[in-house]
Amino acid sequence: MSQELKFITDDLMQYTLNVRNVSLEQTQIEMIDTRIGLTLSRFANLIAKSEITLRAISAEAEQCKIHCDITLSLQSGPTIEISDDAKNVEMAFTQALQRSKRSIERHLRHLRSPRLGSSVTSRT
């Protein structure tokens, strides 16, 4: 069972959700949409393309783990790829999304120059 869903959040941020070997309920799809909007909306103008893949790692019900891949292609050229595993969809997605946000913030810190007028020494 595999399906591909395309979404546009309120901020006109587009993303593709690929689901493989996992059945998502409507509430889980809404949770993903809401968290994407809340977490990455301020970076919407930096992200050219975003793709989320959710898949089950094992078929056994009691050992079932969910694998989440998030790929963000930035306007400036680099691509951020994050993978995470957890025992359910919500945890796997949330962990990967938070790591994606931190990666974008780290990327932006490296691009920005030091602020003008700031001293090198601390003022006490």
Tokens coding 78: 């680099």
Query: Is 96 contained in some domain?
Result: yes
Query: Is 81 contained in some domain?
Result: yes
Kindly state the helix (H) or strand (E) to which residue 83 belongs, with its residue range. strand 79-86
Full domain range(s) for residue 25: 2-111
Query: Is 69 contained in some domain?
Result: yes
Cα separation, 119 vs 123, whole angstroms: 8
In angstroms, the Cα distances linking 62 to 21, 29, 67, 88, 107 are: 15, 23, 15, 11, 38
pLDDT of residue 124: 47
Query: Is 26 contained in some domain?
Result: yes
pLDDT of residue 75: 87
| Beta carbons of 54 and 89 less than 8 angstroms apart | yes
Q: pTM for this structure?
A: 0.79
pLDDT of residue 21: 86
Handedness of CA 91, 93, 98, 100 (dihedral sign): positive
- Per-residue tens of pLDDT for the chain, all 124 residues: 556 666 655 556 788 889 988 888 999 999 998 999 889 988 988 999 999 999 998 756 566 799 999 999 998 888 999 999 999 999 999 999 999 999 999 988 887 665 555 555 544 4
Q: Looking at residue 32, which CATH number applies to its domain?
A: 3.30.160.100
Domain count, the chain: 1
Query: Is 122 contained in some domain?
Result: no
Query: Is 11 contained in some domain?
Result: yes
Query: Is 101 contained in some domain?
Result: yes
Query: Is 120 contained in some domain?
Result: no
| Beta carbons of 29 and 10 less than 8 angstroms apart | no
CB neighbours of 16 closer than 8 A, spacing ≥ 6?
4, 5, 6, 7, 50, 51, 52
pLDDT of residue 37: 87
